[in-house]
Amino acid sequence: MQFTTPIPISKSNSPMDYQSEIISLGSCFAVNMAEKFDYFKFQNTVNPVGILFHPMAIEKFIGIAINKKVFTETDIFFHNERWHCFDVHSDLSNSDKDLLLQNLNATVSETYRQLSTASHLIITFGTAWIYRNIESGEIVANCHKIPQKQFKKELLSVPEIQKSIQNTIKFLQQINPELHIIFTISPVRHIKDGFVENQWSKSNLISALHEIANRKSQILNYFPSYEIMMDELRDYRFYAEDMIHPNQTAINYIWKRFSETWISDSAIPVMEQVDSIQKSLQHRPFDPNSQNHHSFLSKLNDKILLLQNQFPHIQF
């Protein structure tokens, strides 16, 4: 007896392996998936400027990187004893103005390099709701806990999202025409926007992405993270205690569906070796000084060295 309705997902013609260079950008669910790439020791970079929730924030950051923008004092501001930038997450905020600028510009340079050589880019949209700074008229990536009266909240329309996606693709093709771009929608429920408003937001994202994907199928791919959560995992037991974020069981399941679609068959045995080593590294012996434990560590070290000879980038 079957208790779910699995979503049919075609196997990619350009799957990832241990030679692939992967970048993940977007919402906190992008971080969840990147943690899986990290665990299995793929070459992966996630959110160089922190979490970016909406399409225009991601578009702007990619444009900044592609155009090698140099951040100056005019791009940052002081609030609550720290320097911030509206284009990045508060993770980068700093009490030292010069250090913030230094970090921003170093990140731009490194992101340009990574985007130039990446094989796969995964972009996860979290919401279509955006905040516009009333004084400047600019859409921000993060409000940095500035009073909400200084912003105007807006919902991006389907045409606006489509235009943003097209701009993002155009930026990326300038420096890396062979890049495989995978878009997905975060299953995280943005219910602070409202229950109906969250669904409205997700609907606009889905509508925009599918129209673009149908037109640009050779370079844009869609993975149904949101749909898997809504249809295959249709139960509150797959949410964390906040009833907003997917719990670890849900994350593991969505990763499994992603692996079946986007990880090459040749990489699976390597993933199994990495998983075995990771679990062995978590082992806690009854007697750390015993001969058995020393033998166990020696065999484990041999496994690690053998794997690193094949893939020098893998480090435990």
Determine the average pLDDT of the residues in 27-51. Answer: 96
Looking at the domain assignment, is residue 3 inside a domain?
Answer: no
Task: Kindly state the tokens that stand for 265.
Answer: 């068959």
Nearest to 160 by CA among 253, 61, 29, 56: 56
Whether 187 contacts 228, CB under 8 Å:
yes
* CB neighbour class for 124 (10 Å; exposed up to 12, middle 13-18, buried from 19): buried
- pLDDT value at residue 171: 96
- pLDDT value at residue 108: 98
Mean pLDDT of the chain: 94
What would the pLDDT profile of 223-232 be if each residue is shown by its tens digit? 999 999 999 9
- pLDDT value at residue 129: 98
1 pLDDT more than 70: no
Looking at the domain assignment, is residue 301 inside a domain?
Answer: no
Tell me the three state secondary structure of residue 44.
Answer: strand
Looking at the domain assignment, is residue 280 inside a domain?
Answer: no
Which of 68-72, 94-98, 206-210, 290-294 has the least mean pLDDT? 290-294
The CATH number linked to 120 is: 3.40.50
Q: Which domain holds residue 223?
A: 21-264
The band of 212, judged by pLDDT with boundaries at 50, 70 and 90, is confident
Looking at the domain assignment, is residue 112 inside a domain?
Answer: yes
219 pLDDT more than 70: no
Determine the average pLDDT of the residues in 55-60. Answer: 98
Of residues 111 and 293, the one with the higher pLDDT is 111
Whether 62 contacts 55, CB under 8 Å:
no
Residues above pLDDT 70, as percent of the chain:
98
Whether 172 contacts 212, CB under 8 Å:
no
Looking at the domain assignment, is residue 284 inside a domain?
Answer: no
The band of 66, judged by pLDDT with boundaries at 50, 70 and 90, is very high
247, 250, 255, 258 alpha-carbon torsion, rounded to 10°: -140
11 DSSP 8-state letter: P
Looking at the domain assignment, is residue 104 inside a domain?
Answer: yes
Looking at the domain assignment, is residue 6 inside a domain?
Answer: no
For residues 218 and 93, what is the distance between their CA atoms, to the nearest angstrom? 38
Nearest to 89 by CA among 130, 61, 112: 61
168 pLDDT more than 70: yes
H-type alpha helices, 81-194? 97-117, 158-175
CA distances from 154 to 122, 151, 159, 170, 311 (A): 25, 10, 14, 25, 47
2 pLDDT more than 80: no
Determine the average pLDDT of the residues in 109-128. Answer: 98
- pLDDT value at residue 289: 84
163 pLDDT more than 70: yes
Could you count the other beta carbons within 10 Å of the beta carbon of residue 259?
Answer: 17
218 pLDDT more than 70: no
- pLDDT value at residue 216: 60
Whether 44 contacts 22, CB under 8 Å:
yes
CA distances from 307 to 38, 155, 284 (A): 16, 48, 23
273 pLDDT more than 90: yes
- pLDDT value at residue 271: 97
Q: How many domains does the chain have?
A: 1
Looking at the domain assignment, is residue 111 inside a domain?
Answer: yes
**pTM score of the predicted model:** 0.94
The band of 153, judged by pLDDT with boundaries at 50, 70 and 90, is very high
- pLDDT value at residue 217: 56
Torsion sign over Cα 81, 82, 84, 90: negative
For residues 89 and 144, what is the distance between their CA atoms, to the nearest angstrom? 8
